[in-house]
Amino acid sequence: MTGCLPPSPAATPPIESLPIIDISPYLDPSSSPRSRQETASAINRACIDYGFFYLTGHDIPTSKLDEVISLARQFFFSPLSEKNKIKRYDAGGPEGGDGARGYQGMGENITLGRRDVQEAVDLYREWDHSPKEEGNGGKGTYKTLQGPNLWPAQPPELKEVYLDYIDQLMKVGEAVVRAMGTALDLGAPQPNANTTTEDGDVFVRNTDHSFWVMRMIGYPPLQAPYNPDSSDVTEFSCGEHTDYGCVTLLLADPTPGALQVLLKDNKTWLNADPIPGHFVVNIGDMIERWTNGIWKSNKHRVIHRGEGYRVSVPFFYEPNFEAMVKPLGKCVERSGEAPVHEGNTYGEHLLGKVFNNFYK
């Protein structure tokens, strides 16, 4: 008689967590087709369910990752006068800025019309044909995004360590977009394919001069009192947004409870706490557009109310600046929806974002 049995302890539902993807089959040339297919299938599932996942098997030593975070932290802890030596200035102005590269002080970044409680440094792929104009005291006048990178001089080893790190990340980014092409089952790569051919390497070709972005971000803890009964948050470390390009490889210090990912119900925020040695990876707007929304660039935000000063270093593996990004025919067909966009270049999409990113 079941009525006589003691009540069973209430089952606690497992706390939902992002899936972990092993990318090593796409970095190791001797891997089996089967192991690649497993990775690709796992990515497809993760991109449909979350647009986010943890990445392992990337081959970058944890000691290197720790060094990257530590150097960023040292930079943010240097005096403001030191940080302002590489200050970002608007493009075309007397200071010789390009409106995007350099150090952005606390509150200078805006998302959804509000100041983000963060400071940051943005580095981009060097502009291939720098149209530096003479005059302006030798500083030149740059169009938006077309200036040289402004590297921190302190700590002195930062630049070298970061350049090497970027080389490593480019390989990881390429492996991830290659796996994504397989995951979408776009067909075998065509030899000598031009950039508009839709096959499994379409993302690889369109990122072969990736206009990457490297951000170093520093977040002091938020000051506003937290009311757990209210969903009305008034202060954000980074307001909710989607990323702009292909694949974000996020490295963050161990601070928990800061990065939150919006789930498919469109109301629950899942903490994407860091796992040592793993990246938090998410897909950007260009992947959503190429796949005609089969995979969505998911909204996320940062609310750091914890202890201490949080540091994160996202790397954005993006399309080429000139890449034309338009829904792929196969994806349009499969989605059963009208094309989500008529197509424009990644550069145009990025410029539209950058113009609205800073407090004027």
Ligand X SMILES: N=C(N)NCCCC[C@H](N)C(=O)O
Partner in contact with 353, chosen from ligand AKG, ligand X, Fe ion, none, beta carbon below 5 to 8 Å by kind: ligand X
Going by C-alpha positions, the residue among 168, 169, 149 that lies closest to residue 159 is 149
Helix (H) or strand (E) holding 214: strand 213-219
Under rule CB under 6 A, residue 353 binds ligand X: yes
CA distance 192 to 301: 41
Could you say which of 169, 177, 283, 302 contacts ligand AKG (CB under 6 A)?
302
Write down the least CB distance from residue 176 to ligand AKG, Å: 17
CA distance 329 to 339: 9
Tokens of 219: 């977040």
Q: Which CB, 246 or 250, lies closer to ligand AKG?
A: 250
Site for ligand X in 176-215 (CB under 6 A): 213
Write down the least CB distance from residue 274 to ligand AKG, Å: 8
Tokens of 278: 């793993």
Under rule CB under 6 A, residue 169 binds ligand AKG: no
Under rule CB under 6 A, residue 89 binds ligand X: no
Residue with the CB atom nearest ligand AKG in the bound state: 312
Amino acid at 351: L
Under rule CB under 6 A, residue 109 binds ligand X: yes
Site for ligand AKG in 245-284 (CB under 6 A): 250, 252, 259
Q: Which CB, 123 or 250, lies closer to ligand AKG?
A: 250
- Sequence-distant contacts of 35-43: CB under 8 A, at least 24 apart: 36/179, 36/182, 37/182, 39/179, 40/179, 40/180, 40/182, 40/183, 41/183, 43/176, 43/179, 43/180, 43/183
Could you say which of 108, 243, 253, 288 contacts ligand X (CB under 6 A)?
243
Tokens of 338: 């009208």
CA distance 166 to 192: 28
CA distance 24 to 250: 18
Write down the least CB distance from residue 41 to ligand X, Å: 27
Under rule CB under 6 A, residue 238 binds ligand X: yes
Under rule CB under 6 A, residue 299 binds ligand AKG: no
Q: Which CB, 71 or 238, lies closer to ligand X?
A: 238
CA distance 166 to 172: 10
Select the span of 186-194, 239-247, 260-268, 333-341 touching ligand X (CB under 6 A): 239-247
Under rule CB under 6 A, residue 54 binds ligand X: no
**DSSP string for residues in 86-133:** GB---BTSTT-B-SSSEEE-TT-BEETTEE-S-EEEEEEPPPSS--PP
Under rule CB under 6 A, residue 330 binds ligand AKG: no
Under rule CB under 5 A, residue 174 binds Fe ion: no
Q: Which CB, 242 or 292, lies closer to ligand AKG?
A: 242
Q: Are 52 and 261 in contact (CB under 8 A)?
A: yes
B/e letters for 264-288, b = 16+ CB within 10 Å, e = fewer, are eeeeebbebbbeeebbbbbbbbbbb
Under rule CB under 6 A, residue 72 binds ligand AKG: no
Under rule CB under 5 A, residue 243 binds Fe ion: yes
Q: Which CB, 141 or 312, lies closer to Fe ion?
A: 312
Interface contacts to ligand AKG, rule CB under 6 A: 215, 217, 238, 243, 250, 252, 259, 300, 302, 312, 314
Interface contacts to ligand X, rule CB under 6 A: 109, 111, 213, 238, 241, 243-244, 316, 353, 357
